[in-house]
Each structure stands twice: as C-alpha cells, then as structure tokens.
Structure 1
Amino acid sequence: MRKIALLSALLYISVCAMAQEDTTDNQNLDEVVVFSNKFAEKKKNLAQKIDVINARAIAKFNSQNTGDLLINSGNVFVQKSQQGGSSPVIRGFEASRVLLVVDGIRMNNAVYRAGHLQNAITVDQNILERVEVIYGPASTMYGSDGLGGVLHFRTKLPVLSATDKLKVIGNAFVRYSSANEEKTGHADVSLGGKKFAWLQSYTYSDFGDMKMGNNYKSKYPDFGRRSQYIKRINGIDSVVTNSDDRVQRFSGYKQWDITQKLLYQQSERVSHSLNFQYSNSSDVPRYDRLQDTRNFGGSIGTTLRFAEWFYGPQTRLMTAYELNVKQLGFFKDLRVNLNYQDIKESRQQREYRRYDRFDSRREHVKVLGFIIDGRKTWGNNELNVGLDGQLNDVKSGADRTNLTTGAVTKLDTRYPDGDNKMNYFGLYAQHLLKMKNGKLVLNDGIRLQSVSLHSTIVDNSFFNLPVTDIKQTPFAVTGNLGLVYMPVQNFRITGNLSSGFRAPNVDDAVKLFESSTATGRVIIPNADINPEYTYNFDLGFTKTFHEIVRFELTGFYTLFNNAIASAPFKLNGQDSIIYNGIKCAVYASQNVNEAYVTGFNARLSIDLSKKLSWDNTISHTYGRYKNPDGTKIPLDHVPPVFGKTSLTYTDKKFSTEVYGMFNGWKKIKDYNPDGEDNGQYATVDGMPSWFTFNWRGSYVFTKNLTLQAGVENIGDRNYRYFASGFSAPGRSFIIALRAGL
C-alpha cells in the first residue's frame, strides 16, 4: 500500500509542478474520432468521458483475451472467477450493469447476471480495430443496462481497392506465454476489389493450468495455494496432493474464434455489409468453486466439495446485415442493421463421490434485433435519431445423471422451464450544438424505452413457488445534458448530467441457484422487483502544458435508486430450505432504498523526449447503499484504487516499455456481506494490495515481420484481483512473432 500511496503522491506532485509553469501552449487537443453517438464524432465535442484503445495499442499489449486487454489499458478493472472469465467493472458497476456492444449491436441479453460474467472474452481481441470505453450512464444512446458505462468493441472492416488491382491485407501471429503455457495462433486477411471486399479471421488459443506467483505477503504465506485437488482414479474420486501448489489445477481451457465480413459498395452513397462472428470453447472449469469445501451443519469443513464444476462449451454466434446510405432525404447518413444472436451455455457439477448426481443445467438464448440510426446536420447543429429493438427468447433445461447406472432424471432448472421472453424497444434523439466558434458545445438527448418480460413455470413440484406466471412491462424516460467548454486551445472543461435505466431481466427476476458453499445461500425468484435507475454528474478537465504534458481528471457522483441486491427472503414462510443436500438460507433479488457511487480517475502523460514517454493512470471508487433501518452497507462490485504507470521508448525499429500495475487494499469491512464480493476467496483481512513490475518490447525486422517479447510480474508476486476466486499469473515469459502483408 505504501508503494501505491507513493505513486499517487508522485502523480499529484508532478501535476502541481507542471501547473505552476507557463500554460500557454499551441498544441491542439486530441482529435480522436469516436462512435459513441452511433456516427463518427470528434471526441473533444462530447461531454461524456470516453477512452479509446486503438489497434496499435491492442497489438502492443499482446493480451491473451479481451479481459486482459482491458486490464492492460490501466482504466478498467476486471474480476475473474476462473481463467476463462473476465468481468469488467466500470465505476463500481459490473456484469449486467455494464453494457457490452460489438459493432453497434448489444451483447447483453435476458440472462446476463448481476454477479460476474465471462461473456466479454467471446469477442476476439485479435480482430478488433478499437475498443471505446464509455464512462457513466449511456441509456440515451443504448437503452437498458449501461448504468456504469459501455464497452463498445469495433471489429476490423474489409478494405476496398481504389484501383483495378486486388487489394490484399493480411496479418498473422503465433504467441507463447509460460505462466499457463498459452499457445495462440491468429490469421486474418482482407481481399478487396472496387465494389466487393471480404474479410476472414481465425484465432485459436490453448490455455494450460495457470501458475500463480511465489512471492507471498508474509502474513498470508498460503494464500491461494492449491494444495490438493480431486481426481477420479480407477473410477473412484480421490483427493490428490498437488505436486506444485502454485499451479491452479483444472483451470485450463481452449477457445477458437471466427470472423467473416462481406462488403458491397453499391455506389458512392450506398453500401451493404454482412457480419458473421462465431466463438466457441472447450469446457471451462469454474476454478473458484473447485476450491469450495463441504458445509457441515452451517460450518465450513476442510474436505473439497466438488469433484467437477465446469461451464460447458460457450458458443456465441452473431450474424448481421447492415445498410448504409448517405444523403437520403432528411438524413445526411442513414444506417439500418438487422441482426441475430444465438448463445449457448451450461453449468455441469458433481460433488465428491456422488456418482449418482451429475447435474447439468443448460441455457439457450436466441436474440433477434434491429437498429435504425439517422443523422441530420444543419448550421452548427447535429441531430442523431434512432429506433431499436431486441427480442430475447430463453430456453432452460436441466437433468441429473447417475454415472453408475446411466439413469437420467429431472432436475430444477436455473430459469423457468416454460417460456422466457424479454423484449426491448427504444426511441432516442441525441443533439449536439456548437457555439462560440466551437469553443462551447452543448450535448443533449432523450430516450423512451419500453421493456416486457414474461416467464412461466411449468413444473412447480421442486419448490412449490407461490407464483408460476411472471410478467413485467416497465417503461422509462432517460436523458443527458452536457457542456464542453474550450476557452483556449489545449484546455477543455466538461460537465455532464445523465440518467440510466436497467429493467430486471430473466436472471434478476426468476432464477434459482445456490450462491456459494461458503455463504450457504440459495437465491429464489422474486417477481416484485422494480427497474434500477441512476442519476449521474460528471465534472472533468483536460489540459496540455508546453506541448509535452497532458493531464486529465474526471470526478463523478452517481445516485443509484432501486438498486437490486441480494437480501434475506422467505419461501412459503420459511427462511431456509434444503438445496442440493445442504441447508441454505433463502435469499432473493430485492430493491434496496438508495445507493450511491462516487470517485475519480486521472491520467498524466509526459513526453520526456521525442522517443521517451511516461504515462500514468489512477482510478478510485467508493459506494454505499442504505438498509431499510438506515444503516449504510458497502455496495458490492466496487474495486479498490487501481491504476498503471509506464515508461516507453520508441524508435523506428525498436520499442520497449517498463510498466507497473497496482491495486490497493480492499479491507473485509468494505466487502458487501450479502452480494458478489466473494469474501470467502480473500484473506481474513480482505484482498491485499499489490504491485507488479513488467516489461515488454518489440523489434521490427522488416515491414512485414515483427518480434515481440515480454516478462510479466517480474517479481513473481502472488496476488488476486478483488472479488476473484482465481489467482493472477506469476512470473510469465511471453514471445510472439507477427507477420503482415
């Protein structure tokens, strides 16, 4: 923690020192173009805070998956329950409260849970052109779910040829990482003529069991160690001593991703495109659950509970057709998108030596969507308007297999076994007005959002729930009002008011599952929960000093009404039931009175010379909610202070970077006692602070061949991210060879 405090102090002192110098500089502020308003817009004109991870940074970070890519940015916190999981956190909001968007299409669906999600890694980071991180409520443009922010993944486009000659662009790489013996291969190619262009991309990754660091804090010498595991030997479950307790046995998995795009340029004004994305995986072990021990009469024992607990192959299929037209009647630009998504996931588990109970729960989600966006410009005004919809259909099945006899019997499903339908429809308008020769820019917008949910329970024999037909039809009006003021060149002040909305989805309202062995709780349906609302205020400024120093600071306060949290509940008058052979307290998702989240993030970048630069980020978040009795309880999902500091040298052929990643302490008193903070996977005092020292570099042999190498966690620090049940990699050597056409 002393190191983190020192870094923070250095950042503050550096800023103060620079601020005392002459601030009359001539460098233009960042002219980065973003697409958060659906159409291209200069970032400097938008009041909402947005960060961009571009293609060059994506290649430089050389990350194993999309979650690691976000971590490497230094601006997004990511929780992990297993190696095949990455749950982004933006401003203390996570999972279903952070909206994932790929190529303008919502990924969030009716079963995105409020706990921790792994869906972000089903987007192949190796084919991304950019990632836009949008901070704060984004319901005006994107509708329900974007309470904390939006992660907009934009994949590469096929490239047309300007001549009669076929335009060929190709990229490929192979990579190896030692901590988990990762082996990844990727190739993509774009073939373009004058009218047609085609893009094809493949990625395959094989991740072995992850090895954690060996440099432990002296107070917690055994933290995270995997001393034993369960292995089936000659048909009998046996507890086996781990030959190396730093290796997280049964954490490895495989993944493959395919992207295909076809572009047809009908004329200068009209284009058509097809977008196909497919992601699949092997079984993904739920590593945190494999550490759970058996619960005896309410107390936790020392015997491992699960012989098997894994997610079955998770598949994500997306197909989309898009029409783009310029100068059509009222609109300068018009976009129409029709899309379909098909998602399959499952949960498989079996307790130690329970050969009669191999439980399988399976979900199949189909989503049909449409988006119509139009842009009109006149004078100093820009107006974006749109209509969008998404129709979700969820099928949930479950069965129990006796591995000895092969008999298959019915099992309670995670979601109702009848119909589960959830539909979203929205209408929005977003306006931008440039005043005072562009020095003052007004951002204002409004959205009307309608949502419907209908779930039916056919077989109610398992729990005799009081309600078997659940319907909800919430309606919301959300909006935003912001100002950007640029009094002089390279100085920018922003203020932004925005509201967010999230309708309870199928996972919130009607799921049934055991939250964890350690807590001994079972979550049951509650049809009476209401939508969540956020009301947010941002204030930020960006200043460039002497053309070499850039400082950015944004503070925010978010009022969180009707926050949905897990709280004690009763089923048929009982506050506990027997579930999977264990007595569990009954809990349900419920609206708490009020919550708030506040914090800041800052960035300091200094060009020490033409080739040497220093970059620093730091983020801090604090959140509480009020119990009915008025007491304030820590809000779950809120990470400790975190950030990154890096020093980079870049020459024509050679680039090298030394960088540090850090997290502050998350004391156990600041954990939410009933939510998703997973105190059972931390130390008795909470999650310790940590700092890792890292290096990476690259050498360009030719314009078509580049070698990358790196060492992560050089000090071999043993650590975990807050709320994670999976330890981060120990010292890892990385090498990659990239080729291009």
Structure 2
Amino acid sequence: MKFFLSLCTFLLISVSAHSQRVKILEETTGLPVAGAVIYNASKVKSTMSDIDGVANLGQFSSDEIIFVEHLLYQISSFRTSDIANRTIYLKAKIEGLEEIVLSASKFQQSKRDIPQKIINISAKSIVFSNPQTSADLLESSGNVFIQKSQMGGGSPMIRGLSTNRLLITVDGVRMNNAIFRGGNLQNVISIDPFAIQNTEVTLGAGSVVYGSDALGGVMSFYTQNPRLSYADSLYFKGHVVTRYATANKEKTGHVDLNFGMKKWAFYSSISYTDFDDLRMGDHGPADYIRPEYVRTVDGTDQLVANGNPLIQVPTGYDQINFLQKVRYEPKEDWTFDLGLYYTTTSDFSRYDRLIRYKGDNLRSAEWNYGPQRWFMGNVQVTKLSSNSNLYDKIQATLAYQNFQESRMDRDYAKPDRNIREEAVDALSANLDLEKQLGTRTELFYGLEYIYNHVTSSGNEENIQTGTTVPTVSRYPNGSDWQSVAAYTSLKFKPNPKFVFQTGMRYNHVVLNADFTQNNAYLYLPYTNTKINTGAFTGTAGVNWNPNQTLALKFNASSAFRAPNIDDIGKVFDSEPGAVVVPNDDLKPEHAYGLELGLKLNFENRVIVDMATYYTYLDNTLVRRDFTLNGESEIMYDGELSTVQAIQNAAESRIYGFEVGLMVNFTDALKLKSNYNIIGGREEDDFGDNTPLRHAAPQFGDTHLTWQKDKLQLDAFATYNSELSNNQLATSEQGKDYMYALDANGKPYSPSWYTLNFRTQYQFNKAVSLTVSLENITDQRYKTYSSGIAAPGRNLILSLKYTL
C-alpha cells in the first residue's frame, strides 16, 4: 500500500512538473530561445530557458503575472493561466542587430560569433517583400546579384562568383549536383518562397562545412517546420494566399496547413503560379525591344511582327510546388523530421537564344527548356542534449534527390529539332556533431557522403516527318560522381568580447565517365575517363567586440571545387558557331580568401556594417579554344563549329567592398541601405588578362520603412552602375543581341535605377493585404549579363488569409 501511494505521489509530481513546463520560441521562425529569463513582478522568483527553449514554471502560481526577457527579444509579459499550449512566442528586437544562424556549423550559433558575413532573410521580411521566385528573394537581400536568361530563371552571383562555384542547400541538404554548370543556372527557382521559414546567405567560402562548390558563398534555405501543440489539444494553423502582378499577368495561389499534436506535427504546402509573357519598361535602350518573333504554322516558320514590342514573346510559363513535412518529438531533446519536396515547371523558352539574328532572320525558331523537375525526400534525426563523451548534440541526415531537365532547339526554317534530356539521381548522408569541451570551447565535427548518377540522351526529330534518330547527348550517359569527407571546427570564446574559430576538412572526389555512346559521333581518343582527387581546406577567423559600439571580424579561408560531369564531359553549343567538347585532363580549382569586417553600432540608432575581401582562384576552369583529334572545327547539329573545352587555363583575382547602413530614426521609421563594389581579373595561359565574367557592376538598394500597428510602408530604390564595353568579359563583348550598343556600336551594360513602393495592412488577425508598385517610372533595363529585360511598371496585389 505504501509503495502504491508513493508511486501515485511520484506520478502526480511528474505530471505536475511536466504540465508546468513551457517552450519559448522565436515568433517568426519557431526556433527555440535559449537563455530567456522569466521572473515575477517583484523579481523574487526567476528561472531560465534551457538550450531547447524549455523552462519550468513550477515556482510561479497558477494565475501570476510573469515577464520574459532576452537580450535579442522584446520583453513580454503573460499571465501563467493564459499561456496557450504551454508555448510562449517572443518578438525579435531590431532586425539584423543580433540573430541566431544555423548554416555556419549546422547547429545554432549567435551571428555575432561568426567571423564571416552572413545575411539572414527572415520569414517576416519574405512575406513583406513578396517575391515571385526564390531568385527574387535572394535579390531582396541587397547583397546577391541575380542574372536572368529567361523569366523561368535566376542565377545568383556572390562576390564575383556564380553558378557551380556557389552552393545551394535546402534544410541542410546540398542541392548542387554533378551537372551544375559554369553557365547560368536556374535551379534556385525550384524552391518555393511561400514555404521558406528563413534564408541564410554566407558571403565567402564555406568549404569546411559544405565541401566542394562553396567557393564564393552558401545559400541556405530552411523550409517551414511543423509546429506541435505540446498538449492534448490539436494546434491548427493555415494560410491561403492569392497574388496577381500586372507586368507578367502573374496568377498565383498558395495553401499551407499545419496540424500539431502533442508529439506529432504535419505541415503541407502547395503553390501554383502561372506567368504570361513579360512586359519590359517604356523608357530605356531601344536595343532591348522585341520587334518580331517566330511563329510556326503547319510546319512552316514565319516572322511575325510583335503587336507590342515591349512584350517579350515568348517568356511565359507555369510552375507547381509541393511540400510535405512530418515531425515527431518523442522527448524534448529528440526530433525526427521527414520532408518530401516536389517542383515542376512547364516548358519555358530560353529567351536570350530567341533574340539572336542570322542575317535578316532570327537564328532560332524555337529554343525551349523542358520541364525542370526536382524531387527530394530527406530524413533528419536530431538529439540536442546528451551525456556522451563524444557529443552533446548530434544530427543525422539522409536524402535522395532526383533532378530532370531537357533542352529542345530548332533553327529557323529547318525541320530538325534537337532534343537532349538529362536526369540525376543524388544520394547523400551527413552526420554532424557538437561537443562542449569546456565553458569556453565548442567542437563541431562531421562526416559526409554523396553519390550522383547521371543519365543523358540525345535525339534529332524531324517536325515534318515525325521521324527521330539518336544523336550526341549532352553528357556521357551512365556517369557517376562521388564525394566522401570529414570536417572539424573549433570555437574558442575566452570572454564575451573575443571569439576565435578555426576548422579543417578533407574531401575526396571520384568521378567516372563513359563516352562509349557519344564516341559514335565525336570519335574521342578515349572511351573512359576518371578523376580521383582529394583536397584539404581550412578556415580561421576572429571576432572582437571590445564594446557595444565596435565589432571587428577577420577571416582567412581556403576552398576548392572538384570537376564534375558538366566540366569533364559536356557537349553543347556555347555560342553561335562554337561547340564545347569533353576534356579528360582537369584538376580541382582552389580558392584562397581574406575578409575583414567592421561594424559600428551607435546606441542602436545608427548601425554601419562594412566588409572588404580578396579571393585568389587558382587553376580556374574556363572555356577556351581546343582541338579534337587535331581538328579545331567540327560539325555539330549541322553547323561547322569552333571546338572549345573547359580547361584549367587561368587564375582569377577577385576583390570587393560592401557597406550596409541602418538608421533607426524612431521605433517606427527606419532607413536601410546596401552597396556593393566588386572587381576582378582573369589571366589565362594564352596571355589574355580580362575582366571577370561574373563580377557584377556596382549595385545596391535603399529602403525607407515605416511600421505602426497594422500598417507597414516601404519606399525603396534599387540601382546598378554601368559596365562599358572594355569592362565586359571577353565572352560578353561579342553579344550584341543581348546588350545595349554604345555610340561606337559596341555592346555595353548601361546603368539603371528603379523607384518602388510597397505597403502591407493587417486588417485583423486573419486578413492582410500587400500592395507593391515596382519600377514606378517604367524604366527599361537589363541586369548585367541577362538576356531578358526586367519587368516594367508592375503592380502586385497579394491577399493573405490565416485560418
């Protein structure tokens, strides 16, 4: 009987203790807030949230007023009896002043401790900026330059590097695959901006944590996490969004639903977008207008006058995004996550290939990308507290991805359509761990394995007879690319004012390519090629915050990029009259960088954040003239073409300066501005010393915002300096079809600006309306290296309903 009573008492105490626990989360991201102090009015009683954001309110009475305070968040007060679902949400203080980031080590760290510059784009700012694609989302950061060859695209440039020299991750899984190319990429649009919880952009090398490809930066996208109720009752939340834009007659619908139970939670998201042809602005270079286009009627190509030369025909497409996530928390320190992601587009034209002329006629009758499809399934297991001697936190991630893309092109008045299709199956496994070695030292370390398998086919279809014959494929069919790596990173913080971080990684890459199929057309002097190479990379940096006003950062890093299937085995027409062929003699690129940052904070009223950097890229992979079996020209797709190949034939030097300014005039009125200056030269083995292709012009933005109660306003300008013809890379100087022409008839990239206004009004807890008027003065412009002109005056209406 005594035993029974003791057991009952113990169970009652346990249940009572558990019921008095609360979880403290950041309002917009749902991430736990550690170190939040909770106290009553007299400050006699107090407690603190642990690393998981959990605090015990057992010492407070059931109807007591408590206050929750944290350095990074606004002080909030609650009555203990009114805390719903045992969860407290805190609002962040001044945005960007102090944030928690995940991408630097795979676990939460204070942004103040990271020696590199990291841009954080929160869910709140994503909702307000209302981007049409994730490429537009990155552009809104003010530090990422976006190039577009077509409306269904967006290729980021960061600090003079782009495409396969930048890394994209989604929920910690790398999106880069074995056919990520050096030319402009549009894969980032596969990520649904409606489903993103927050985005972190690491400016500069990230090879220690992320391995190959992270030479210029890492774009880390984190999708919405399912939210639990932590109670017996169901926690439900959902959103319905509809949006319309005038410049491309965008019609978008989005729905997301969250069902949270005590230990299980489910999050579902689906978005559909339909874009019509894009209208450019009315004021700007006449070189950009679209006077005519090709229409095919009964198998015959015709040049048709464009009824409105400002409409870029054809550029429209549609896209669907789906996300399903499941979370299971059997215990407070254990989390199991499942994510299923699927995106597909319709066919969409590569617009810059459709505006080239050959004589008096347009060169191409059609040049389309087939549906761009991406599927990912990942499972992630996280334990955030442990008594193990090996780790305090551990996270294991397994992922499978499938990428599908294709290209279809046909010359004007020619019956033969070239169709090339590619697919990549990608498997990855990551193990990341964190260990507190003492009160001042943290150790991060992990293992990674990646496997990519590439399938590729080529066919030539006669549109008049319907017959199809095989032809050379874009990539060697059946190729594979593997990577295995181990890394370690150490953070030493002897006092709150000084942080030292260092790390090292070893990465080994093995590539196998079989050219048997393509040798029926190319007659290469080899049938197989292999790459078996390894690289050590490292980083070391310090943060010094001597007082509340001054913060200094310095970081030195090395990074690398191993050749992939695209580098070693691609066959494609790089430009009119040129064809790229395989090259089996490639080595990794190595980057060595320095970064110095200075931040001045004058009582949270004026904040100036500056950084300068220098990167040296050795063994740069560049496209240059080549010979195949002693021949400098071959026939490709019916045209005599100059032979080119990717080669380790250059070295690059990149340098730049970034400055950000935030002025908090009042709690409601703020000014925020960014400006970027980038320069770079590329010197090759043939004696040419030319501007770097992906060094963007000087660019920036300035926002004047006002927020009070239910209303938020943003008047902003974006701007871009000129690049004259001699400032363009050699590969760009001959693209008269893509750039404006100067007084001498030579291509150049003009300067431009836009004036814009955005407002958001929250009618009530359920309904909000966002209205944007972009490019108010209807400027006609192209961002540097872009084949498509940017939208003209554009009214965007977005209505959001919270269920």
TM-score (norm 1): 0.93
Letter in 2 for 1:541: L
Q: Contact 1:565–1:675 (CA<8 Å) still a contact in 2?
A: no
1:508 corresponds to: 567
1:297 corresponds to: none
Q: Does 1:621 align with 2:681?
A: no
1:192 corresponds to: 260
1:554 corresponds to: 611
Q: Contact 1:29–1:491 (CA<8 Å) still a contact in 2?
A: no
Q: What fraction of aligned residue pairs are identical, expressed as a percent?
A: 36
Q: Secondary structure at the match of 2:287?
A: coil
Q: Secondary structure at the match of 1:496?
A: strand
Alpha-carbon spacing, 1:28–1:249, altered in 2? closer, same or farther (3 Å): closer
Structure 2 residue corresponding to 1:399, chosen from 438, 456, 459:
459
Q: Secondary structure at the match of 1:331?
A: coil
1:427 corresponds to: 486
Structure 2 residue corresponding to 1:412, chosen from 465, 468, 472:
472
Q: Does 1:496 align with 2:555?
A: yes
Matched positions, count: 701
Structure 2 residue corresponding to 1:529, chosen from 573, 580, 586:
586
Structure 2 residue corresponding to 1:375, chosen from 431, 434, 442:
434
Q: Contact 1:29–1:44 (CA<8 Å) still a contact in 2?
A: no
Letter in 1 for 2:452: N
Structure 1 residue corresponding to 2:754, chosen from 686, 689, 692:
692
Structure 2 residue corresponding to 1:638, chosen from 676, 683, 695:
695
Q: How far did residue 467 of structure 1 move?
A: 2.0
Q: Secondary structure at the match of 1:383?
A: strand
Structure 2: any 5+ residue segments left out of the alignment?
Answer: 1-92, 741-745
1:711 corresponds to: 773
2:243 corresponds to: 175
2:712 corresponds to: 655
1:302 corresponds to: 360
Separation (CA, whole Å) in 2 of partners of 1:702 and 1:30: 29
Q: Does 1:76 align with 2:144?
A: yes
2:155 corresponds to: 87
Q: How far did residue 685 of structure 1 move?
A: 4.0
RMSD between superposed Cα atoms in Å: 1.5
Q: Does 1:479 align with 2:534?
A: no
1:120 corresponds to: 188
Q: Contact 1:28–1:489 (CA<8 Å) still a contact in 2?
A: no
Alpha-carbon spacing, 1:461–1:523, altered in 2? closer, same or farther (3 Å): same
Separation (CA, whole Å) in 2 of partners of 1:733 and 1:319: 37
The worse-fitting range, judged by mean Cα deviation, of 623-632 and 53-62 is 623-632
Q: Secondary structure at the match of 1:310?
A: strand
Separation (CA, whole Å) in 1 of partners of 2:95 and 2:146: 33
Q: Once the two structures are superposed, what CA deviation does each residue of 1:114-164 show, in whole Å capped at 9, x if it has no partner?
A: 010000000001110111000111000000001110000000100011221
Separation (CA, whole Å) in 1 of partners of 2:360 and 2:728: 24
Letter in 1 for 2:414: R
Letter in 2 for 1:389: Y
2:293 corresponds to: 229
1:271 corresponds to: 335
Q: Does 1:250 align with 2:314?
A: yes
Structure 2 residue corresponding to 1:701, chosen from 757, 763, 768:
763
Q: Contact 1:606–1:614 (CA<8 Å) still a contact in 2?
A: yes
The worse-fitting range, judged by mean Cα deviation, of 404-413 and 255-264 is 404-413
Q: Contact 2:117–2:202 (CA<8 Å) still a contact in 1?
A: yes
Q: Does 1:35 align with 2:110?
A: no
Q: How far did residue 547 of structure 1 move?
A: 2.4
Separation (CA, whole Å) in 1 of partners of 2:177 and 2:662: 38
Separation (CA, whole Å) in 1 of partners of 2:384 and 2:139: 38
Structure 1 residue corresponding to 2:356, chosen from 288, 292, 298:
292
Q: Does 1:311 align with 2:373?
A: no
Q: How far did residue 303 of structure 1 move?
A: 0.9
Q: Does 1:53 align with 2:124?
A: no
1:364 corresponds to: 423
Separation (CA, whole Å) in 2 of partners of 1:415 and 1:599: 36
Q: How far did residue 308 of structure 1 move?
A: 1.2
1:352 corresponds to: 412
Q: Contact 1:208–1:252 (CA<8 Å) still a contact in 2?
A: yes
2:505 corresponds to: 447
Q: Contact 2:735–2:747 (CA<8 Å) still a contact in 1?
A: no
Separation (CA, whole Å) in 2 of partners of 1:449 and 1:245: 51
Separation (CA, whole Å) in 2 of partners of 1:629 and 1:470: 26
Q: Once the two structures are superposed, what CA deviation does each residue of 1:457-477 show, in whole Å capped at 9, x if it has no partner?
A: 123121211122010011000
Q: Once the two structures are superposed, what CA deviation does each residue of 1:69-104 show, in whole Å capped at 9, x if it has no partner?
A: 111221110000000010000101110000000000
Separation (CA, whole Å) in 1 of partners of 2:113 and 2:736: 42
Separation (CA, whole Å) in 2 of partners of 1:197 and 1:559: 47
Letter in 1 for 2:695: V
Separation (CA, whole Å) in 2 of partners of 1:403 and 1:685: 35
Q: Secondary structure at the match of 2:382?
A: strand
Separation (CA, whole Å) in 1 of partners of 2:422 and 2:430: 26
1:67 corresponds to: 135
Separation (CA, whole Å) in 1 of partners of 2:328 and 2:733: 47
Q: Once the two structures are superposed, what CA deviation does each residue of 1:504-535 show, in whole Å capped at 9, x if it has no partner?
A: 10001110110122xx2111111112100100
Q: Secondary structure at the match of 1:289?
A: helix
Structure 1: any 5+ residue segments left out of the alignment?
Answer: 1-25, 295-300
Q: Does 1:109 align with 2:168?
A: no
Separation (CA, whole Å) in 2 of partners of 1:661 and 1:679: 25
The worse-fitting range, judged by mean Cα deviation, of 556-565 and 67-76 is 67-76
Separation (CA, whole Å) in 1 of partners of 2:480 and 2:734: 30
Q: Contact 2:241–2:254 (CA<8 Å) still a contact in 1?
A: yes
Q: How far did residue 629 of structure 1 move?
A: 5.3
Q: How far did residue 193 of structure 1 move?
A: 0.5
Q: Contact 2:377–2:400 (CA<8 Å) still a contact in 1?
A: yes
Q: Contact 2:119–2:141 (CA<8 Å) still a contact in 1?
A: no
Separation (CA, whole Å) in 1 of partners of 2:490 and 2:565: 33
Separation (CA, whole Å) in 1 of partners of 2:227 and 2:617: 44
Separation (CA, whole Å) in 2 of partners of 1:312 and 1:629: 37
Q: Contact 1:671–1:679 (CA<8 Å) still a contact in 2?
A: no
Q: Secondary structure at the match of 1:231?
A: strand
Separation (CA, whole Å) in 2 of partners of 1:547 and 1:100: 33
1:723 corresponds to: 785
2:231 corresponds to: 163
1:457 corresponds to: 515
Q: Contact 1:374–1:384 (CA<8 Å) still a contact in 2?
A: yes
Structure 2 residue corresponding to 1:670, chosen from 727, 733, 741:
727
Alpha-carbon spacing, 1:676–1:371, altered in 2? closer, same or farther (3 Å): farther
Letter in 1 for 2:550: F
Separation (CA, whole Å) in 2 of partners of 1:430 and 1:270: 24
Q: Contact 2:351–2:787 (CA<8 Å) still a contact in 1?
A: yes
> If you compute each CA radius of gyration, which structure gives the higher value, 1 or 2?
2
Q: Secondary structure at the match of 1:441?
A: strand
Q: Contact 1:27–1:544 (CA<8 Å) still a contact in 2?
A: no
Q: How far did residue 28 of structure 1 move?
A: 12
